[in-house]
Each structure stands twice: as structure tokens, then as C-alpha cells.
């Protein structure tokens, strides 16, 4: 397991959540490749349907904030390869330090944050009278950016090999990617840039606010807490009913606020009177 301040050269193990994320994206890519062989027109329809478009999302395509991350155009082989290799490296590194549910939560939050960022800037630009050209979001770049920000913030002193040759600390890599995204704000792909910054912001909020064991652990704790409170309420109600019943029999039984019977002096012969 790498330690903060050390250097990381080799790729992390291909297992667990990392393997799941990479294989799901890879399967989605090849599904589109095979679909294009069968029906090229249907592939374009699927890309428009599953990619993220703020306009379509506002008109009821509520699945798009999640499905767009799985859409890798068949023609973009190099871009897809770069995304999947980055996903393997970043998610694999974080999975060595955190639980699988934490990594899944960070990745999913960043994907959703990217879609949210694109929606906000699209709506805001139209409101301010400077409408941006709508560009469909495709690929898992938003989730990858969130993972990168997490490594830069939590393990900033870790050194990685940029372009496999230049050793550079994680915080500087994250800063470089952030500056590139800011520079893209002045180009034709500014919506992509705003979307990436939205994913980075949500990823930063996640690592600051989410529990160390992940969001699923938080929900499970909440669920078990609600269940236990319900059982305690049932026990208190049963205790009150039992008190009423025993009084009707001329006997006295007392329970505390948690529904537990209060201990009394065993030598007290009036305890049942």
C-alpha cells in the first residue's frame, strides 16, 4: 500500500470496485461498437438518448445524469482508452486507502456533479442573455476528475510519473488539470469545462462531508438507527400495556423509559400488591 509522501510508479491492483467500474464502462463501449455494426443510425439515437443534454433532462430524461458516463462513442478509441486507464489508476489507488463504498460514492457524486454543473451554466447563460451552444456530455471524465481532486487533496505529497517520465506531486497534477479546465472556459468547449469544474467541486464536498466508510455505510447506520428506535417504541408501548394489565389484577409492575422492568427489593412482600 502506498504511503503519503512516497512515490507511486506501478498501476494498482485490478480488483474490487476498480475492476467493476472499468469493466462496466468497457462493456458499454463494446455494446455501442456492436450496435454500430448492426445499425449505425440506432447508435446515434442511443447516444442522444443516454448522453446528457440539459434540455432533454429538463423535459423528463431523468436517467441521463448517470447514463452519460457510460457512453463512449465508438469512434473515440483513444479518448476511451485514456479514460479507462485513468479510471483504473485513480480508483485503484483510492481503493487501497478507502472502502469500496467510499470510492463508489465519490465517483458517483462527481458524475452527478458534472451533470449538475453543465445544467447550471446552461440555464444561467440563457438567463443572462448569453446562450451557450448545448453540447451533450459523454464519458466518465467527470468521475475521473473527482477522483483526481480527491487524490490531490488527501494525498497531495504522493509523487506520480507524469507522462511516465516526470515525477510530480499529486496536488500539482490536480492543479494542472484544474488550470486546463479553466483555460477551456475561453474556448468552444466551455460547457465541458464548467461541467468538469462542477464534478471537481462536488468531489471536494464529498471528501469533506462524507463518512470515511462511505455513503452506503451512512445510510445503513441511519436505517438501523430508525429500526432500533421503532423496536424501542414497541417495547415501551408493550410495557405500558403490561402495567395497565397488572394494575387491573391488583398488582404493581413498573418499567423505566426504555421499557425495562425496574428492579425492586426482593424481600419486599408488597411489590406485587
- Looking at residue 252, its pLDDT comes to 74
Strand order in the sheet with 159-162: 7-8, 159-162, 166-169
- Looking at residue 24, its pLDDT comes to 94
pLDDT single digits (tens) 84-115: 988 998 899 899 888 888 899 899 999 999 88
Gap between the Cα atoms of 155 and 171, Å rounded:
8
Residue ranges of domains in the chain: 7-213, 221-273
Strand 166-169 relative to strand 7-8, pairing: unpaired
C-alpha cell recorded at residue 143: 468521475
Listing DSSP states for 3-25 in one string gives: -TTSEE-SPPP--HHHHHHHHHH
Mean pLDDT of the chain: 78
- Looking at residue 111, its pLDDT comes to 92
Residue with cell 440539459: 54
Query: What does the H/E/C string look like for 170-213?
Result: HHHHHHHHHHHHHHHCCCCCHHHHHHHHHHHHHHHHHHHHCCCC
pLDDT single digits (tens) 186-209: 666 667 777 878 888 888 888 887
Residues 6+ apart with CB under 8 A from 113: 142, 146, 198, 199, 200, 201, 202, 203
pTM, two decimals, is 0.70
The answer as to CATH 1.20.1540.10 being correct for domain 7-213 is yes
> Is residue 259 pLDDT above 70, yes or no?
no
CB 96 within 8 A of CB 129: no
Amino acid at each position: 500500500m502506498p504511503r503519503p509522501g512516497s512515490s507511486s510508479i506501478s498501476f494498482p491492483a485490478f480488483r474490487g470496485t476498480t475492476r467493476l467500474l472499468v469493466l462496466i464502462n468497457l462493456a458499454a463501449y463494446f455494446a455501442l461498437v456492436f450496435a454500430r455494426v448492426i445499425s449505425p443510425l440506432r447508435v446515434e439515437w442511443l447516444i442522444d438518448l443516454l448522453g446528457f443534454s440539459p434540455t432533454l433532462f429538463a423535459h423528463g430524461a431523468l436517467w441521463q445524469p448517470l447514463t452519460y458516463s457510460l457512453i463512449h462513442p465508438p469512434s473515440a478509441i483513444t479518448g476511451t482508452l485514456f479514460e479507462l486507464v485513468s479510471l483504473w489508476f485513480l480508483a485503484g489507488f483510492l481503493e487501497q486507502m478507502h472502502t469500496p463504498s467510499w470510492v463508489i460514492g465519490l465517483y458517483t457524486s462527481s458524475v452527478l456533479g458534472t451533470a449538475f454543473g453543465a445544467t447550471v451554466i446552461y440555464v444561467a447563460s440563457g438567463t443572462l442573455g448569453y446562450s451557450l451552444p448545448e453540447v451533450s456530455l459523454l464519458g466518465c471524465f467527470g468521475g475521473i476528475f473527482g477522483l483526481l481532486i480527491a487524490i490531490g487533496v488527501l494525498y497531495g505529497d504522493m509523487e506520480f510519473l507524469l507522462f511516465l517520465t516526470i515525477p510530480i506531486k499529486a496536488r500539482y497534477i490536480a492543479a494542472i488539470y484544474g488550470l486546463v479546465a479553466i483555460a477551456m472556459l475561453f474556448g468552444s468547449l466551455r460547457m465541458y469545462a464548467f461541467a468538469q469544474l462542477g464534478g471537481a467541486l462536488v468531489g471536494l464536498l464529498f471528501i469533506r462531508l462524507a463518512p470515511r466508510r462511505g455513503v452506503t455505510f451512512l445510510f445503513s447506520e441511519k436505517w438501523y438507527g430508525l429500526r432500533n428506535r421503532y423496536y424501542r417504541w414497541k417495547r415501551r408501548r408493550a410495557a405500558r400495556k403490561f402495567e395497565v394489565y397488572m394494575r387491573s389484577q391488583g398488582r404493581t409492575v413498573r418499567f423505566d423509559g426504555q421499557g425495562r422492568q425496574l428492579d425492586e427489593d426482593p424481600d419486599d412482600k408488597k411489590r406485587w400488591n
